[in-house]
Amino acid sequence: MKQPLVQLQNVQLRNDRGDFVFRDLNFTLQPEQSAVIAGSAGSGKTTLVELLTGVRFASVGSVEVFGHLLKKGRRSAIRKVRRQIGGIGGPFGLMPLLSVAENITLPLVLAGLRKKDQRERLFKVLTEYSLLKQASEYPPSLTRVENTLTQFARASIANQPLLIIDEPMAGLDKNTWERVHQVLQKVALSGRSMLILTSDLPSQELPQTTYYQLVNGVLQ
């Protein structure tokens, strides 16, 4: 059996007031599989993202991503994990001082890809997401739709094996919603994995995807 991309075992975590965010959280995400986790505001969705990216750490239990145990002080492991994750929404916002083109190519720069290959991939994703006209613009001047599409383009360009997507459909018009859903379907069938965090379970299901609800610090 392949090594899980994500494995949380018996995770407990309290907030600053001492209340439980996670009581006994267990979750496994296998390669080429995706998961949707729905939860109300304050249920811990953002905190879960922070655990998976090494921003916060479990009080009890273990968090492993790509086989790396994420604990305080393990900076090298955290850097390796982050480079394999593409993020959309929530804490993965665009960098306001970088242009659309620079934001999109950032994962390639961090991976050390040569500039010729960066330009080729950039043109491809700008075309795919209809962002050629916005390439030289900066995030503050983008519409909500353009901002979301730029984040999807950035998450697509480096073919990272795991995408963490926070509220992918929030604020989108019907046409863009359908377009983004098609992108999610394509990713789900591509061999890459997604962890999608949302307030409500989507009305249309995605292939190779398991659905959960986060309630009172546990997954159901």
> What pLDDT sits at residue 1?
65
Number of domains in the chain: 2
Q: Specify whether 29 is located in the same domain as 67.
A: yes
Give the dihedral of Cα atoms 172, 160, 117, 176; nearest 10 deg.
-10
Q: Are the C-beta atoms of 77 and 69 separated by less than 8 Å? A: yes
Q: Specify whether 71 is located in the same domain as 150.
A: no
Q: Specify whether 109 is located in the same domain as 5.
A: no
> What pLDDT sits at residue 19?
83
Q: Comparing C-alpha atoms, which of 89, 88, 156, 92 is closest to residue 125?
A: 156
User: Other CB atoms closer than 10 Å to residue 35's CB: what's the count?
Assistant: 21
Does residue 90 lie within any of the structural domains?
A: no
> What pLDDT sits at residue 17?
83
What's the pTM value of the predicted model, to 2 decimals? 0.90
- What is the chain's mean pLDDT, rounded? 91
What is the domain-level CATH number for residue 220? 3.40.50.300
| Beta strand pairing call for 6-14 and 60-65 | antiparallel
> What pLDDT sits at residue 167?
82
Token pair 């599409």 in the structure block, residue: 149
> What pLDDT sits at residue 87?
92
Q: Specify whether 22 is located in the same domain as 113.
A: no
Q: Looking at 160, 191, 209, which one is the last position of a domain?
A: 160
Does residue 146 lie within any of the structural domains?
A: yes
> What pLDDT sits at residue 212?
96
pLDDT means per 10 residues in the chain (220 residues)?
91 86 94 95 91 93 96 90 91 94 94 92 94 97 90 91 86 78 88 92 87 92
Q: Specify whether 66 is located in the same domain as 48.
A: yes
Q: Specify whether 142 is located in the same domain as 104.
A: yes
Q: Specify whether 167 is located in the same domain as 144.
A: no
Rounded to 5 degrees, φ, ψ at 72 are -55, 135
User: Other CB atoms closer than 10 Å to residue 38's CB: what's the count?
Assistant: 19
SS (H, E, C) the chain: CCCCCEEEEEEEEECCCCCEEEEEEEEEECCCCEEEEECCCCCCHHHHHHHHCCCCCCCEEEEEECCEECCCCCHHHHHHHHHCEEEECHHHCCCCCCCHHHHHHHHHHHHCCCHHHHHHHHHHHHHHCCCHHHCCCCHHHCCHHHHHHHHHHHHHHCCCCEEEEECCCCCCCHHHHHHHHHHHHHHHCCCCEEEEEECCCCCCCCCCEEEEEEECCEEC
Give the structural domain span for 53: 1-84+162-220
Q: What is the CA radius of gyration of the chain?
A: 17
